[in-house]
Amino acid sequence: MSNTRKVAVVVGSLRKASYNRMMAHALAEVAPSSLQLEIVEIGALPLYNQDSETGTPPAQWVSFRQKVKPADAVLFVTPEYNRSVPAPLKNAIDVGSRPYGQSVWDGKPGAVMSVSPGAIGGFGANHHLRQSFVFLNVPVMQQPEAYIGGAADLFDDNGKLKSDSTREFLKKFMASFAAWIEKCAAAR
């Protein structure tokens, strides 16, 4: 891997003490040096409304699109709300996919990690998000799958990962993602 790949990280939770945000930081810490991860914030995005595309779209949309567009890949770290993705994440996906024909997601290799205090680790959200990737033309990494349950017990009071076995899994996940990004880049 000859050059550094920029990865836009989209965290589906807006909570200040979000396990998903903590996990995104843990992923950045264990990522291979060939990857540069940057969290792209979604909390200030106005709800997508196609009428707002006429004239000058909201500045938050423009800024979000400008941050994701140059990325080489995208990584989604999300909780599960009602067996699906949280509304702010779905909104970010919609904002990034428009205007039609100018999607910032198009062709970017992607990966999904769902993180939850529950036992099944956000399985529903993980798979629901993958359905959107088909239309968005995001080739998503299939293995290893990443459903992280019991998140409340994985971090210390400072938000740092304290589970060695989870850290080892994250390293494997990020190494596989780095290889996936290179495979997709070679196929372009």
Report residue 124: phi and psi, to 5°: -60, -45
The overall average pLDDT reported for the chain is 95
Q: Which two tokens stand for residue 19?
A: 């396990």
The whole-number average pLDDT for the span 95-114 is 97
Bridge partners (DSSP) listed for residue 183: none
In 3-state terms, what secondary structure has residue 113? strand
Residue 51: which residues within 8 A CB-CB, separation 6 or more?
none
Residue 1: pLDDT above 50? no
Tell me the average pLDDT across 25-54. 97
Domain hosting 171: range is: 5-187
